[in-house]
Structure 1
Amino acid sequence: MSENRTNGLRTGARIAGIGAAAAVAIGLFSTGAANADAFVQLPDGTKTGPGVTITRTGEHAVVSPSMADNGLGRVVWVSGNASADVTDTPIGAVGPNNGQNNAAGTNNSSTHGASQINTGYIVGCQIGISDGALTAGLSGGVSLSSANIGGSVSLNIGPGQVKFVQIDSKDITAPGTYSVEYQDTEMQIQGCGGYAQARAYTVVEIIGNNYSKTTLYGQPFSIG
């Protein structure tokens, strides 16, 4: 009986050890999951306006904790394709901007001698990004940052603030189809201690006597 009891204790110890090891492994997996990148698939969209149909396809984002690990930052990589099928525009020539002080407009677009497609993201800290967010940029109270396709942009944004990240633009000098495709463009967000949202936008301006501006918004998504 003594031998059986000893074997039983040893067997129990082995099982307990296996259980403890499994618990540690699960804990490590859980920690990894909590800090893992989050993949966000976003729906396609289309918008028709005067002389143009805007389409966005293949949009997705990958959200990660910031390397700063200070609770105020996060990083998101965005990808997608924005295109404009332009059927009616005057033949244009690229010229100087006509925004404030001859600079690019605060709403991420400006008329400068040619029609234009302009795409990017609206980023907000502790604020919902509504369909009117882009219009709010006309007041000049919204900041503009720029990123090259596949490049990186760093934003410092506080509670209640909204900023635009311009990914890229393309001049439209004649009717036709124009597109801007971007892959893993990085946005580093710092200074936001609460929740943050991002939302794609694409603006097409048509110059001429029948000037128009058509905007296609993407679906808002959380960036932590």
Structure 2
Amino acid sequence: MSENRTNGLRSGARFAGVGAAAAVAIGLFSTGAASADTFVPLPDGQKVAPSGTVTITRTGEHAIVSPSLAANGAGRTVWVSGNAVADVAETPEGEAGPWNGPTNNPGTNNSSTHGVSRLSTGYIVGCQVSIADDAIGAKVGASVNTEGFGLSGGLSLNLGPGDVKWVEVQGKDIPKAGVYSVEYMDAEMEIQGCAGYAQARSYTVVEIIGDNYSKTTLYGMPFSIG
């Protein structure tokens, strides 16, 4: 369904974390003059790690897609919202170095975190790339890189044909077992330089450090952003 918005101030990109009960304001976004926005509802999802010690649940996800204010035919803007929850039954408490095994060697002890288990959530955004399950398995091409939101506002992405970027919206450390949540609303991504179609899909990753290292990822449904 679509809705018309005539007033240009969008308050938003609120991130909240249950567990630390923290909220971070990401600023105010302006949508400018009247434009036709498209509301995209997205389904809930859940993934349980093979070990059964991690359950990821994603609810309330939706996107609002708008033409870019640049009006150059190669840009569009999307506001994304959702809630990601990690139920973690087991993890080493506290922080440690990225090598957490008794022998301090690579292998199952190798972690890409900064030394503590972590929940992170965001979006994979591509230009003229179908971000389907088979593409994810193939690492969605060789041009993948990661960008993140700053505290000053939204994020602007320059994407050429075939480009894919991983955009982290928010994350939370997991220093001990428990339930951790990240909620975000109207987080703004502006895509420029993509004259073809653009697509995105959410991801939520829980990485558990230690001897029983694991990395569990829940992907959302791909959706068009114009």
Q: TM-score range by the shorter chain?
A: 0.7 to 0.9
Q: 1:57 to 1:85 in 2, by over 3 A?
A: same
Amino acid at match of 1:42: L
1:44 paired residue number: 44
Amino acid at match of 2:42: L
CA distance in 2, matches of 1:223, 1:139: 20
Q: 1:152 to 1:95 in 2, by over 3 A?
A: farther
* RMSD of aligned alpha carbons: 2.5
Q: 1:113 to 1:134 in 2, by over 3 A?
A: farther
* Correspondences of 1:166-205 after superposition (within 5 Å): 166-205=168-207
Would you say the 8 A contact 2:141–2:164 is kept in 1? Answer: no
Q: 1:140 to 1:213 in 2, by over 3 A?
A: farther
TM-score of the superposed pair, with normalisation by structure 2: 0.73
Shift of 1:133: 4.8
CA deviations 1:69-89 (Å, max 9, x no partner) are: 010000000000001000011
CA deviations 1:186-206 (Å, max 9, x no partner) are: 000000001100100000001
Compare CA radii of gyration and give the structure with the larger one: 1
Shift of 1:148: 4.3
Shift of 1:151: 3.2
Aligned length: 181
Structure 2 unaligned segments of length 5 or more: list them. Answer: 1-34, 100-110
Amino acid at match of 2:133: D
* Match for residue 117 of structure 2 among 106, 115, 118: 115
Query: Are 1:61 and 2:55 matched, yes or no?
Result: no
Would you say the 8 A contact 2:140–2:164 is kept in 1? Answer: no
Structure 1 unaligned segments of length 5 or more: list them. Answer: 1-34, 98-108
Amino acid at match of 1:92: G
Shift of 1:165: 0.8
- 1 or 2, which has the higher helix percentage? 1
2:83 paired residue number: 81
Shift of 1:113: 1.4
TM-score of the superposed pair, with normalisation by structure 1: 0.74
Q: 1:158 to 1:139 in 2, by over 3 A?
A: closer
Amino acid at match of 1:59: E
Identify the structure with bigger relative contact order (alpha carbons < 8 Å, sequence gap 6+).
2
- 1 or 2, which has the higher strand percentage? 2
1:206 paired residue number: 208
Amino acid at match of 2:123: Y
